[in-house]
Amino acid sequence: SPPPPQAKIACNAKDTAHTRAERNILEAVKHPFIVDLIYAFQTGGKLYLILECLSGGELFMQLEREGIFLEDTACFYLSEITLALGHLHSHGIIYRDLKPENIMLNSQGGFEGELGSLGGSLGAVLTPPCPSGHIKLTDFGLCKESIHDGAVTHTFCGTIEYMAPEILVRSGHNRAVDWWSLGALMYDMLTGSPPFTAENRKKTIDKILKGKLVLPPYLTPDARDLLKKVTPPNFP
């Protein structure tokens, strides 16, 4: 039998606004690699979201245990994350908070039927189970809706180490920021830490804006090439 659903509760006005936005997005987008909203209700000023239970835990904990991922494992997870982000973008939604803590893993099994909705070739590629299950994007409170081709937004949000430069300088950003964050996440998976880190927030921001992307020599040529393309340093 499937695991029981889990509840997410919002109490104050800010949390309620974020949770209401999350509810709207989860009602609008359904995808094998995005957490399922079972139902939502509000009582006494509190908004409840009942989400599917993802018993595989956070990708963050998996990465903490292993230190780094083998490239094949990272490629598997990144492929699924890419499909989820692409689906959001096709609905005019920027995710804006991609980080290991917001990526959950389902338990193995019972997933192959959902993969069929991706189409024959993609479903076949992703059907072999990864040792820790498939990914599910969660926590959509910082998403921005109605951002289609050519549109930008200026909100400062996200987690610094995975935050694209254009968000940091408030120059206006679009869905490209999710691909920058994906590059930072890829770097974290393959090396054990995000590409730009320092002892405090200000120095971390300076590194993201001005630092040089250092690629360990053990990375394959394909990995190095992709990281250079999706996480370009020296923001203009």
What does the block give as tokens for 148? 């289609």
Residue of higher predicted confidence among 113 and 168: 168
pLDDT bucket at 44, cuts 50 / 70 / 90: confident
Q: Is the pLDDT of residue 34 over 70?
A: yes
Note the CATH number of domain 56-230: 1.10.510.10
Please give the helix or strand (H or E) that residue 107 lies within, else none.
Answer: none
Beta-strand runs (E) in the chain:
6-10, 37-43, 46-51, 103-105, 135-137
Q: Which two tokens stand for residue 26?
A: 């989860």
Q: Are residues 210 and 196 in contact, defined by beta-carbon separation less than 8 angstroms? A: no
Residues 158/181, Cβ–Cβ less than 8 Å: yes
Per annotation, catalytic residue among 15, 72, 97, 139: 97
> What was the pLDDT predicted at 129?
47
Distances in whole angstroms, Cα of residue 19 to Cα of each of 75, 81, 86, 88, 227: 31, 22, 22, 17, 33
Q: Are 81 and 98 in contact (CB under 8 A)?
A: yes
Q: Is 72 a catalytic residue?
A: no
Read off the pLDDT of residues 122-157 as tens digits, 9 standing for 90 and up.
454 454 445 578 999 998 866 555 444 554 444 544
Quick: pLDDT tens for 63-80.
999 999 999 999 999 999
Q: What is the structure's pLDDT at 147?
A: 46
